[in-house]
Each structure stands twice: as structure tokens, then as C-alpha cells.
Structure 1
Amino acid sequence: MNLDNIRIVLVNTSHPGNIGAVARAMKNMGLKNLYLVEPRQFPDEQAQWRAAAASDVLDRAVLSSSLAEAVADCQFVVGTSARGRRIPWPLLDPRHCAQRMAEASSREQVAVVFGREDRGLTNDELQLCNLHLNIPTSADYSSLNLAMAVQIVCYELRMLLEADTLPQREDEQWDTPFSSSENMERFYQHLEQTLVDIEFLDPAAPRQLMSRLRRLYGRVRLDEMELNILRGILTETQKFVPRPVAEGE
């Protein structure tokens, strides 16, 4: 994937603050090519303010007089659509669409087109697109802020770019080896003895306490350092347990 070959195109954006927010969302995910088709108000201080540290994306923004002009050199154009159309068109969700865009961007210019805040893209504009993209939302409230929609699409592209570097498991980059079964058994024996010493556990009526604690710690998966910390706590706890006085002392 080549993010330099992917552009975000905004059509007739009504509020300059939304343009700034889109620039920020793009830069967060590593995209920098912003095209603006007849924005109602740009340049504008509100756009700069909302862009925060992404003002460089705004400074490079390309202004176009029509969508056709903004995508004229693109080989793959994706149009965001919030509703079904009379004539069915190829349609994907952001995750699957990102895969298509990633593949195309390695050799082609790709455009992702977002329409007006209040009514999206027209049918004529959508017909300029090779593929339509729809972001699934709750039926209770389906309206998405423009910058939020852009962020979702850019995020899916970023996830594909980072796929090989992201951990596949929550403990993949752990700093300490996990405890062995043998060491865990020593810990359970130490724990049980400590609970007996402080009279929390009655050996005559254990009531499955140790079984439940085994289940708890087994679910957590302790590493060696964590295990040593817990055993140190148990050792210090035992120091405060009164010991029976031997005869003659």
C-alpha cells in the first residue's frame, strides 16, 4: 500500500471547521493528500484552529471546481454513500473497502470521496465512482460527523499498513517469561499455608477456596516477576503471624 497515492476528497463542505477536523483525522493516520471541491468557506481561521498540528495538510490542500476535476487523474474512485440507490452499485464496508484501496494504491491513484454534511453525494457524483462505501451504524442514530467518517476510513487503511507490526496476542511482547507449572504449584502451597496461618482458611473446612484461587490465578497467567512479588508478600505476611511458644522458652 502507498498512502501517498490515496487522496481524501471533500465535496461542498459547508463548515470550515469540518475541513480542519478532517485534516487532523487524516494526519493521525498518515494521509496527507486533501482535495476540496468548492468548499463554501476556505481558507478560514476555523479550519486552521480545528486542524491543530495538521495545518500542513490544509496548506497543501488542492482546490477544485468540480468532483470530476478532483478525480480526473485517479484510476480508482470510492464514493461514500449513506443510503441505498435506485440502481445497485458495487458496495463495501470500510474494512473490506480499505483492502481494495490498499491494493490499488500500489500502482494507481485512489480517491475517497465524501459528500456534503447534510445530504452527501448526488447520484451524478456517485456515478463517477468505481465503488461505493457505506459505514454501518446503529439504526437508532445513523448520522456521522464528516471528520468521524473520514477517521473511520483512514483508520482501516492504517490498520492494514501496520498489520505486520501489530501484536497478534495480548501477551506477545511480554517482558518476562510466564511462570512454569512447577513454580505455580510452589506458589499455591505457599498461598495455602499463609491463609491457614492467618486463619482465613480452615483446613478442616476448605470449601473449595483453593480451587477457586487456582482458577483465578490460572485465568490471569502470572509471569515470573509477578509470582515472585506475590510470594514476597506472602513471606512478609507470615512474619506477622504469632508463633506458638516452645516449652522451656
Structure 2
Amino acid sequence: MSATPANPYDNVRIVLVETSHSGNIGAVARGMKNMGLGNLWLVNPASFPDETSYARAAGASDVLDRAQVVDSLDEALAGCITVMGTSARGRKVPWPIMSPSACAEKVNEEAFKGEVALIFGRENHGLSNDELQRCHYHIHIPSNPDYSSLNLAMAVQVVCYELRIKQLEALEAEGERTALQPMLAPGDPGWDMQAATVGEVEGFFGHLEQVLVDIEFHRRENPRQLMSRLRRLFQRARMDKMEINILRGVLSAVQKSAGAPQGQTKAGQDQG
């Protein structure tokens, strides 16, 4: 878990996935700086850094200078405890969905506990289903259904604006807080364990899927949305590190009882 920063919004990562037009990266940087954010991550951009991105950034070149460029979404989410992704389409498996305002409220809570990632997809088709399944929540911007397509930078600006409003509201209420506290959750002061990172949770999901294959409960060639629904169940629980370790110990015991090789997980998933 990240130490509590002087400004919790330093823990908020704006993650752009496979951006094809570098001008949009510059425009996003400008919008972020307008709203007091500066933690930009770029997953496999088509072109960056380049002249176009810096020209569109105007006075926000420092955001681009600090931008983290990585090859995969896994790298961009490493160490995060909360992930939200923008989605404009309905899904076969319903997922927790929120407005930008509700997203900002949730970020305002979570950023005190650790790193939070807000993911924005490709200009032409957004985030894939697999990428959206990595998210605890989906963000939907309720635009005009007759003309719902938003430019990438515009979508980021909408969400960043809501974050800014919530930050200002929190500052205004600084001297008016009561002794009432919300229900504790992993990462909160007083909770006995750190919140599990995205990588640790992904390691658990890979292990779980392999065990279900080992006991012939699950077939990867005919998944029937099983793993999607199990993901939704466990993501809702918001597990801590000890809970992940306990569950993986149970899975290892099941493998041992079933006579299956222990420690075998789906390739590329065991990151915990």
C-alpha cells in the first residue's frame, strides 16, 4: 500500500491504452493539469514522445515529461488497489457501473488507501472485454444517445473535472468533519492488513482457474462465462493480502487432494 500522500490525487493514474493519435495524449495532459492531476501512464502508444503531443499539451509539457510509457496494461496497473475503466457499451455480464461524479466520489475515498487507475481505451473502439474485466467499476459518461461518441481527451476531461469538484468539496468540508466513520475496508486505518494489489488478485484468478480445470469443473474451450462471474464475485469482496494468501492456500490444498501438480496456473497470470 502506498504511503498516504500530501495530495491523495497524486495516487490517481490516468491510463491511456494504445492511443493512436499523439495529439490526444497532449490534449489529455493539458486537461489533467487544468484539474490538478499529473500522473499519466501510456500503454503502447502509436507515437510518443513527439512534436504533436507536446504542441497540443500547451503549458502541460511537464505532465508529458513525467509520463510512464509501458508495454502492457499489467505494467500500468502494477501496485494499484482500485481500477476503473470507461465503457460505452452494454455487457453480457452486468458489471458495477457508475457516472463520472460517482467515480470521483469513489476515487476520493480510495486514493487515501493506495494507487487508483482510471483507464481510457483506444480512440476507435475503446477497451476490450478482457481489459474491462480487469476493472472493479465501469465508468459511463451519459452523453446524447443520438451522438454519443466522445473524443478521448474530452472523456478524460469530464472525469478529471469531476475529480476536481470532489477535491474542492473535501477541502471546503475540512473543518466540518464528524466523528462518524464509514465501514472499514482493506487499506483503511485500523484494518489489520494491506489491500491486495491488482497483480496479487490476478495471480489468484489464474490459480483459481487452473484448479477448476484440474478438478474438471471448468473447461477453457467452453467457459460459459464462469470465470467472468467468479471475477465479479471476488472483485466485489475487495480482498486484502492475507485473504488472498488464505484462498491460494485453499486452492493448493484442493490441487494436492486432487493429485494435480501444485503451483500451476494459467500462463502469464501468476503475478502475486
On whether the aligned pair clears a TM of 0.5, the verdict is yes
Q: Which amino acid is 2:91 matched to? A: R
Equivalent-residue separation in structure 1 for 2:50 and 2:22 (angstroms): 6
Show the counterpart of 1:79.
Answer: 85
Equivalent-residue separation in structure 2 for 1:142 and 1:164 (angstroms): 31
Structure 1 counterpart SS, 2:60: helix
Larger Rg over CA atoms:
1
Equivalent-residue separation in structure 2 for 1:12 and 1:103 (angstroms): 29
Matches within 5 A, 1:52-131: 52-131=58-137
Structure 2 counterpart SS, 1:8: strand
1:68, 1:128 within 8 Å by CA — same for their partners in 2?
A: no
Equivalent-residue separation in structure 2 for 1:160 and 1:145 (angstroms): 23
Show the counterpart of 1:17.
Answer: 23
Q: CA deviation at 1:69?
A: 1.1
Show the counterpart of 2:213.
Answer: none
Tell me how many residue pairs correspond in the alignment. Answer: 167
Matches within 5 A, 1:145-164: 145-163=151-169
Show the counterpart of 2:3.
Answer: none
Does residue 30 in structure 1 map to residue 39 in structure 2?
A: no
Deviating above 2 A after TM superposition, structure 1's stretches of 4 or more consecutive aligned residues are none
Q: CA deviation at 1:45?
A: 0.3
Give the direction of change, closer, same or farther, for the CA distance of 1:7–1:164 in structure 2 (3 Å limit): closer
Task: State the identity as a percent.
Answer: 60
Residue from 38, 41, 50 that aligns with 1:44: 50
Structure 1 counterpart SS, 2:40: strand
Structure 2 residue runs without a partner (length 5+): 1-6, 173-272
Equivalent-residue separation in structure 1 for 2:139 and 2:91 (angstroms): 12
Structure 1 length-normalised TM: 0.65
Q: CA deviation at 1:18?
A: 0.2
Structure 1 counterpart SS, 2:94: coil
Q: CA deviation at 1:143?
A: 0.5
Structure 2 length-normalised TM: 0.60
Q: CA deviation at 1:150?
A: 0.4
Give the direction of change, closer, same or farther, for the CA distance of 1:161–1:140 in structure 2 (3 Å limit): same
Structure 2 counterpart SS, 1:162: helix
Deviations 1:187-215 (A, max 9, x none): xxxxxxxxxxxxxxxxxxxxxxxxxxxxx
Q: CA deviation at 1:83?
A: 0.7
Q: Root-mean-square deviation (CA), in Å?
A: 1.4
Q: CA deviation at 1:58?
A: 0.3
